[in-house]
Amino acid sequence: MTKERLHIWWDLFVTFAKMGAITFGGGMAMLPILQREVVYLRHWATEEELIDYYAIGQCTPGIIAVNTSTFIGQKRGGVVGGIVASLGMVFPSLVFISVIAGLISNFSDIAAVRNAFAGIQVCVCVLIFNATLKLLKKSVIDRRTAVIFALVLAGSVVVNLSPVWFVLSSACAGAALKALEVRCQKRSERK
């Protein structure tokens, strides 16, 4: 084990622990923080990779934020890096939940506490919306991706299915539509 490896693992743990400490509202609320820290500041992943990690994180068992941190950590620091990044992500939550669990029943009836949580929920919705718009601009780049986006959006509004089915069907549709596009191009080149 080299000093450089230890530094990478420590950096992964601290970075994801900071993100885990300031993320409220679940894995989706973490997306803008991940974009800033992992893509823009540290350059550990590209936006496209982050989108892929997020999509796979929704399809795999577990919490999206932890799954995504595992993928990024593994890319940066190998298997140990994935484990360390995951531990960093969950560590603050474990501490906060342990403390809050002991205190919540004492403060949950206070109007100021209820109002603070209502404000946090609104803020989290805005953060998720902004992150979604950024990802939308990077993901919907042509007619094929626009069709998939429209179908998934309509399907998710009409049908109550697990996100796993939407991600898997989108992957299949993307592959099928690209193959069809290539086939059409070859036909037009022959003419």
Question: Is residue 170 domain-shared with residue 81, that is, in the same domain?
Answer: no
Question: Is residue 110 domain-shared with residue 166, that is, in the same domain?
Answer: no
Question: Is residue 80 domain-shared with residue 153, that is, in the same domain?
Answer: no
Give the contacts of 149 (CB within 8 A, at least 6 positions apart).
136, 139, 140
Q: With contact defined as beta carbons under 8 Å apart, do 54 and 64 qualify?
A: yes
Q: Which domain holds residue 190?
A: 140-191
Q: With contact defined as beta carbons under 8 Å apart, do 50 and 67 qualify?
A: no
Q: With contact defined as beta carbons under 8 Å apart, do 70 and 85 qualify?
A: yes
Backbone angles phi, psi at 98, to 5 degrees: -60, -45
* pLDDT tens digits for range 6-58: 999 999 999 999 988 887 666 677 788 888 899 999 999 998 898 888 888 87
Read off the pLDDT band of 189 (50, 70, 90): confident
* pLDDT tens digits for range 117-153: 788 888 888 888 888 888 888 888 888 889 899 999 9
Question: Is residue 157 domain-shared with residue 69, that is, in the same domain?
Answer: no
